[in-house]
């Protein structure tokens, strides 16, 4: 594959006109010229069924960062938009059925449960109806758990929806960021909902916990608190940030690694346990890469990313985490009302995430651990001028964390092998 230009400038920024940042159309040309490259269909569909939230978390990439496009969108996805989204999904599934064993639909928001039972039921029925035989439909939801009432749990059972719950640790840790608009913390309501989801009759619908890292919390306290809920999976999310809007604990010194320093004690506690207490997605994926496997999470590794997002207005978007980069970063210009999903497969922003090592910047290409790190989460690479063609703003943290995990795993595997 030929070298990719760093940045294509359509007109001069000094004149106040738009600078086209990487990835540009050159990415698509380079991919099409490469006989090894193959476009991959979308297999994961994040549906913004409700664009407002009953919480006002201060780190939310939808409402609190660079993008404010939510203001102009309908609060709830209409039935007509659900129909169009399901129809486009069905077309795409049928066109690529040989390559798709499982299709995943993730109900997202805002808070998806605010969309109400009628719309959620209708949506799941429409997507099931559009799923061809031979493809398994996996429906998930990311929720703050505040609305996990008995009625909504029955709804989830009837619709076959499994839920990830956002929980940042104990009361103080959680309430620091995850608040109602009036400033009151949401911990009690979240725990109440989580306990209801964890009850025996619904436990199989519990997918796991998502914890956004705040390094001012004690990592072991947070881990112990999260594990006490016996989640089948835990994930620790690095706060969204980039080279222009750095993460909260980032000081620009490549020798300081506050996020790795926070994660490593958790890794050691988890890894040293004689019986694994739960899956920790970030650690599991790194270990799998170290052992010669491939990652299934977008945070690490170089395997293709085959996900798109459909907003309440039918807009077909890139992953909404990109909203943390700049206003409009997730927009493709496509909409389910007029465009097929196949029409997006050759968008530069899609191709760039299916090119593996070819889509990394020169620094990452030269890095010895690039196949493990994969350049980190795409949104974390953004820098004005060079777009996403940069190392992650978490480069130092990822390097240190991966180095620690490799040393621990290597010691055990190589000793075992001797």
Q: Which residues bind another protein (CB under 8 A)?
A: 40, 43-44, 46, 104, 106, 142, 210, 235, 237, 254, 270-271, 273-276, 279, 281, 283-284, 287-299, 301, 303-307, 319, 321, 363, 366-369, 372, 377, 391, 395-396, 399, 402-403, 406-407, 409-410, 412-414, 416-417
Smallest distance from another protein to CB 342, Å:
16
- Side-chain half-sphere exposure of 150, counting CA atoms within 13 A: 0
∠ CA 305-346-329, nearest 5°, is 65
Nearer to another protein, 21 or 284 (CB): 284
C-alpha–C-alpha distance, residues 350 and 27, integer Å? 10
Minimum CB–partner distance for residue 234 and another protein (Å): 12
Which tokens sit at 198?
């964890």
Q: What's the CA angle centered on 280, arms 279 and 286, to 5 degrees? A: 110
Which residue, among 53, 55, 100, 90, has the nearest Cα to 312 in the 3D structure?
53
Nearer to another protein, 71 or 416 (CB): 416
3-state secondary structure 208-238: EEEEECCCCCCHHHHHHHHHCCCCCEEEEEC
- Provide CB contacts within 8 A for 195, sequence distance 6+: none
Closest separation between CB of residue 116 and another protein, Å? 23
Q: Let me know the angle formed at the C-alpha of 339 by 333 and 342, rounded to the nearest 5 degrees.
A: 100
Rank residues 82 and 287 by Cβ distance to another protein and give the closer one.
287
Determine how β-strand 233-237 pairs with β-strand 307-310: unpaired
* 125 neighbors 145 (Cβ within 8 angstroms): no
Least distance from another protein to the Cβ atom of residue 408, Å: 9
By C-beta, is 188 or 311 nearer to another protein? 311
Cβ distance to another protein smaller for residue 15 or 275:
275
In the bound complex, what is the minimum distance in angstroms from residue 303's beta carbon to another protein?
5
User: From the CB of 96, what's the least distance to another protein, in Å?
Assistant: 12
Looking at the Cβ atoms of 18 and 358, the one nearer to another protein is 358
């Amino acid at each position: 594959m030929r070298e990719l230009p760093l940045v294509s400038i359509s007109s001069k920024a000094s004149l106040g006109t738009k600078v086209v940042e990487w990835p540009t159309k050159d990415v698509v040309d380079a991919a099409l010229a490469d006989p090894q490259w193959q476009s991959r269909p979308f297999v994961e569909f994040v549906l913004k069924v409700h664009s407002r939230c009953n919480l006002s978390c201060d780190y939310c990439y939808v409402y609190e960062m660079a993008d404010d496009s939510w203001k102009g969108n309908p609060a709830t996805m209409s039935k007509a938009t659900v129909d169009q989204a399901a129809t486009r999904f069905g077309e795409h599934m049928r066109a690529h059925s040989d390559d798709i064993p499982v299709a995943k639909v993730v109900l997202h928001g805002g808070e998806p449960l605010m969309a109400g039972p009628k719309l959620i039921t209708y949506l799941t029925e429409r997507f099931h109806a559009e799923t061809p035989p031979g493809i398994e439909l996996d429906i998930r939801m990311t929720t703050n758990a505040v609305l996990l009432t008995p009625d909504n749990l029955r709804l989830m059972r009837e619709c076959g929806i499994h839920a990830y719950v956002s929980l940042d640790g104990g009361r103080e840790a959680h309430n620091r960021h995850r608040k109602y608009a009036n400033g009151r913390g949401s911990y009690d309501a979240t725990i109440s909902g989580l306990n209801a989801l964890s009850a025996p009759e619904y436990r199989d619908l519990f997918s796991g916990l998502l914890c956004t890292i705040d390094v001012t919390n004690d990592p072991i306290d947070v881990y112990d608190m999260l594990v006490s809920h016996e989640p089948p999976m835990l994930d620790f999310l690095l706060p969204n940030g980039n080279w222009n809007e750095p993460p909260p604990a980032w000081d620009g010194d490549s020798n300081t690694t506050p996020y790795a320093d926070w994660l490593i004690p958790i890794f050691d506690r988890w890894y040293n346990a004689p019986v694994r207490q739960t899956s920790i997605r970030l650690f599991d994926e790194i270990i799998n890469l170290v052992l010669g496997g491939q990652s299934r999470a977008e945070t690490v590794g170089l395997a293709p990313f085959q996900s798109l997002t459909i907003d309440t207005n039918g807009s077909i978007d890139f992953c909404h985490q990109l909203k943390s980069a700049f206003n409009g970063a997730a927009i493709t210009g496509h909409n389910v009302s007029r465009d097929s999903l196949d029409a997006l497969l050759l968008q530069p922003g899609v191709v760039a995430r299916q090119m593996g090592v070819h889509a990394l910047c020169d620094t990452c290409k030269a890095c010895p651990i690039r196949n493990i790190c994969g350049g980190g989460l795409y949104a974390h690479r953004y820098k004005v001028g060079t777009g996403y063609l940069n190392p992650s703003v978490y480069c130092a943290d990822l390097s240190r964390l991966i180095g620690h995990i490799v040393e621990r795993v290597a010691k055990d595997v190589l000793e075992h092998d001797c």
